[in-house]
Amino acid sequence: MEASRDVSILFADIVGSTLLYERLGDQIAVAVVQDTLAAVAQAVAAHQGRVVKTIGDEVMAVFDAPEAGFAAAVEIRLRIAALPPLPEAQGGGRVQLRIGLHFGAALMEEGDYFGDTVNIAARMVALANPDQILTTGDLLDRLPPDQREDVTEFAAIEVKGRREPVRVAQVTAGIARQEATQIGFGRAAAPLRAAEVKLTLTVLGRTWDVPAGTRRIVCGRDGACDLVLAGAQVSRQHATIEIRRDKVVLVDHSSNGTTLVVRDGRPVTLLREEFGMLQTGHIIFGRLNEPGAVVIGFAVA
């Protein structure tokens, strides 16, 4: 076994491949999976990476540099989105991937990689939602500024064998903006009082300053909400963000819960409860590890 070296490890996993075989039949499903894995391999090669192995519907790849792994993950997302849709006769739709990546020291033996870095990258892909790219603070901290702009850090998780929690971040590059969020503030606004706070919300890299005098922002799937969110775990009227003079409070109204992550603090999951929003952090509409959760950032000043 060779000495360890720093690498970026990427996992890409086809979502619901078993269901694909049931819907499409073996012959068509095999072709769809092969085309998908080929697109992943092409994106890996385009950024000087190497496919380590393919296990069924999952690809493991390695890169020498963190920015190369990041760029490959984004290109994979774009290439998969450009693939032809599935046959309408079998329900249509398109193939979806989960992607996870991490940067750190790994051991190589006979072309394969082992160790903590591989385990954490595998944990990221396991946590990711369909069409989501999750990475870690270790990789995020090593990215150049232009790539860091497309990453939103939102949580910290405990990982077996690690003393400190692993910081988790979502890569937003390559996401179609229209699929994410609509926002409509300004209803019944009143003059801002001197003692009141200012609130900023960030969704997929886009930032909105909440207008002066806004008292309540309704967040959910319903088109009548102030902040309309698309996500499998999002309720019709999921939660409200309430500005109460000198404080901002998150109030959950959902069946799936809302997770609040304040910078330097542990995640707090609310279920029909409320909690104060301090300084900066993220709101996860759903539980931390559930598929279909939507994440937005906030800053209170």
pLDDT of 75-131, one tens digit each? 999 999 999 888 765 666 889 999 999 999 999 998 899 999 999 999 899 888 778
Contact by Cβ (8 Å): 298, 202: yes
Residues contacting residue 146 through CB under 8 Å, at least 6 positions apart:
none
Give the residue range(s) of CATH 3.30.70.1230 domains in the chain.
Answer: 5-171
Residues contacting residue 109 through CB under 8 Å, at least 6 positions apart:
1, 2
Tell me the average pLDDT across 35-57.
95
DSSP state of 178: G
Highest average pLDDT, of 9-13, 22-26, 199-203, comes from: 9-13
- pLDDT level of residue 44 (50, 70, 90 thresholds): very high
Q: Which residue has the higher pLDDT, 32 or 172?
A: 32
Tell me the average pLDDT across 154-166.
75
Tell me the average pLDDT across 234-244.
90
CA 86 to CA 94: how far, in whole Å? 5
Name the token pair of 136: 């870690």
**Of 257, 221, 217, 254, which Cα lies nearest the Cα of 236?**
221
Name the token pair of 168: 């988790």
Instruction: Give residue 250's pLDDT.
Output: 93
N-term to C-term CA, the chain: 52
Highest average pLDDT, of 12-21, 73-82, 127-136, 154-163, comes from: 73-82
CA 254 to CA 99: how far, in whole Å? 28
**Of 189, 233, 168, 181, which Cα lies nearest the Cα of 207?**
181
Please state, rounded to an integer, the average pLDDT across all residues of the chain: 85
What is 5-171's CATH number, 3.50.50.60, 3.40.50.1820, 3.90.700.10, 3.30.70.1230?
3.30.70.1230
pTM for the structure as a whole: 0.61
Residue 192 has pLDDT above 70, yes or no: no
Give the residue range(s) of CATH 2.60.200.20 domains in the chain.
Answer: 177-300
Instruction: Give residue 103's pLDDT.
Output: 97
- 177-300 is classed CATH 2.60.200.20: yes
Tell me the average pLDDT across 162-188.
63
Highest average pLDDT, of 108-122, 189-203, 255-269, comes from: 108-122
Instruction: Give residue 193's pLDDT.
Output: 40
